[in-house]
Amino acid sequence: MAAASSPLCFHLTFLCLYWFFVLCMDVPSASSLSFSLNFTKTTRDPCGDELVCEGDSIFSNSTIELTRKSHVANSYDGQGRVWYGTPVPLWDPVTGEVASFTTAFSFKITLSPNSTRWADGMAFFLARYYPNSSVLATGAGGGHLGLFTLNNHFNATGDYRVVAVEFDTFLNVGWDTSDEHVGIDVNSLRSEAFVDTASPGFKNRTHDSAMTATVHYDSRTKLLAVDLQIDDTLYHVNTTVDLKRELPHTVAVGFSASTGFGNELHQLLAWSFNSTLENTSEQPSSTSTSKSMLLKVLVPVLVVSACAIVGLLLWLCLTKLRRMGEPEAEEVLRCEAEFEKGLAGPRRYLYRELTAATGNFAKENLLGRGGFGSVYKGQILSSRFDNQGQQLVAVKKFSLESSQGRKEFEAEVMIISQLRHRNLVQLLGWCDCLKGLFLVYELVPEGSLDKHIHNNERLLTWPVRYKIILGLASALRYLHLDWEQCVVHGDIKPSNIMLDSSHSTKLGDFGLARLVDHGTCPRTTEFIQGTVGYIDPEFVNTHRRTTESDVYSFGIVLLEIVSGRQPVYQQEPAFTLLKWVWSLYAQDSILDAADPRLRTGGDAEDEQQMERALVVGLWCAHPDPAERPSMAQAMHALQSPDARMPVLSPQMHKQGPPISFDLGDIPSSVRSSSVM
């Protein structure tokens, strides 16, 4: 009965939706508007062609100069704008659909030769499109970044509305919180969200550095996210913005910059843009206008009718399924994922088993939250255990709001179910049902490593830390070299490293992991995923996650375990662990980076192991991926007192990774935290 009724419901629903889409096939659908401009590889002036350049902006020396340098004698109190020469659709006035978009660009902000003061910054903006008239208003220079005036700098309205991402280099007391920061502005110079970018010693981070920024807007979540890479540091800021409410349906997208009493040069090197709404800038004919008006009436009627029919069919199907009883109905309704075929080891759990195990996912059982969901403590019946048949488990519940949730879920089940190693968390089972996606792991009693390293009350001794380091190295060697395929983990960090009751390492969270045949080149990824501070800068440039990327993250974790310091502090003054340890290495005092609490006993063997671990950490985090060791080499260097240690450049901490100008239209999303 169940086998017959479920396909019948499916086919009836499918036919209903099919005819609905046939009737509506004249409705224009979303497509892609994209462009990519690399100014460093051309001598042709794009101003007046692809771009509109206004104010002080010109094309010079294979860059777009937004503010004056050599082409105007007086370089102070200037402003310039550049925007794409065609209006960009932001939302559809007929259907109400809002565009998602991603833009990526490389740029420089450098001090002009005739100036000793930095000011004021530049911005990427979306604003009303002006085809012929000037959009630069009097008084928009200095701290107004060429976007606002004295009359509207806190409450821009009407035609002056603007949403911008500012790269600020000067502290304006009336609205800025620091000299150097990235902020998201919504009709005001007071940023809705910001992150400081000042370096240690308050040196301007923008000097002599090409920066790469990615701005991504998700119309579904209304999240505007910004990633900025300067040298080997990645900054992230985001906020929620309803672009349909804040801006007109077509906009200009581009860049604006200004100078005041100080003077700096703002250079745009490369720019790409990709949107999910097609360009409809051509004026519609009277026929298309009439058709559009007809669709405004017809589409809602068709939608309501189709929804009513589909709803009735689903109600009939669900009513029939309920008559079959709950266990049988759940089996029919559960999604049959492709990855289930051929899985060995982990079992499939029913949703009601997980609710019983976790007390209906009670708050008191919550172990932690992360980028893709939450983890709950639970007890599950198991015939394999003698303790009254109960086993402690950790249930990972994937967020329904995460667009990447299913992809991570399937990757984690497919990969970790095939792996067997003493230093990997054991996957017991999974659940894929209408209520969501769930993974069931063994509960590792001591929790994650980060809670121990940064705990001032309980000290992890050096022998314990050394054991954890070797366990992590062993797990990565197995993943990279010893299994039949190469597994790139993709998110090595202390919160993904669990400790059992004897403080043995258990590496978990394989949601970003990828399988790669040995000796082959991995594919590029759509998103920059991982955790700020642990992400390989080369991955940010290439979008290609490799074993070298894991090695880089392993190196950062080594430095964190030995030093007890987090990799990045974005407070004032900013701190980067990697650069700090490099500088100590250059001064031949690398052991000073070790957690002082570990050196109170003065044990020579312990200190030798600490020093070796710090050097291996730098070796693994080498800015050139080709110079990094394999996990076999790293493990040998860590274990053997007689191992030959690499000789690293003492100036390495002053060098940054190369910034690629080949930007592609790739969305970027950086995950700041995760669990399990």
428 touches 346 (CB < 8 A)? yes
With a pLDDT cut of 90, the percent of the chain lying above it is 26
441 DSSP 8-state letter: E
How many Å apart are CA 228 and CA 214, to the nearest integer? 7
Average pLDDT score over residue span 469-478: 95
Q: Where is average pLDDT lowest: 47-51, 158-162, 349-353? A: 158-162
pLDDT of 520 above 70: no
pLDDT of 283 above 50: no
- In the prediction, which pLDDT does 511 show? 74
- In the prediction, which pLDDT does 544 show? 80
pLDDT band at residue 484 under the 50/70/90 scheme: confident
- Ligand-binding annotation for 296, yes or no, is no
Q: Which helix (H) or strand (E) holds 547?
A: helix 547-563
For the chain, the average pLDDT equals 76
How many Å apart are CA 630 and CA 481, to the nearest integer? 9
Domain boundaries, the chain: 2-23+303-333, 33-275, 338-442, 450-654
Q: Where is average pLDDT lowest: 310-324, 400-414, 594-608? A: 310-324
Name residues whose C-beta falls within 8 Å of residue 416's C-beta, 6 or more positions apart in sequence: 424, 425, 427, 510, 513
- In the prediction, which pLDDT does 674 show? 40
- In the prediction, which pLDDT does 563 show? 96
In whole angstroms, what separates CA 659 from the centre of its chain? Answer: 18
- In the prediction, which pLDDT does 3 show? 42
pLDDT band at residue 331 under the 50/70/90 scheme: very low
- In the prediction, which pLDDT does 472 show? 97
Q: At what angle do helices 547-563 and 462-477 cross, to 10 degrees?
A: 180
Q: Which of 24, 26, 21, 46 is nearest to 35 (CA)?
A: 46
- In the prediction, which pLDDT does 22 show? 47
DSSP for 576-610, please give it: EHHHHHHHHHHTT-GGGGS-GGGSTT--HHHHHHH
pLDDT of 26 above 50: no
pLDDT digits (tens, 9 = 90+) for 152-184: 556 666 677 889 999 988 765 555 566 688 889
Q: Which of 604, 583, 597 is nearest to 648 (CA)?
A: 583
Average pLDDT score over residue span 470-494: 91
- In the prediction, which pLDDT does 670 show? 41
What's the topology of domain 33-275? Jelly Rolls (2.60.120)
- In the prediction, which pLDDT does 75 show? 52
When the candidates are 1.10.357.140, 3.50.50.60, 2.70.50.60, 1.10.510.10, the CATH number that belongs to 450-654 is 1.10.510.10
State the residue for tokens 């004295």: 150
531 touches 564 (CB < 8 A)? no
Does 491 qualify as catalytic in the annotation?
yes
Of residues 491, 509, 550, 606, which has the active-site annotation?
491
| Higher pLDDT, residue 279 or 219 | 219
Residue 486 corresponds to which tokens in the numbers above? 């190469």
Torsion over CA: 362, 364, 367, 371 (sign): positive
What's the topology of domain 338-442? Phosphorylase Kinase; domain 1 (3.30.200)
Q: Where is average pLDDT lowest: 101-105, 333-337, 346-350? A: 333-337
Q: Give the CA angle between residues 121, 163, 233 to the nearest 5°.
A: 50
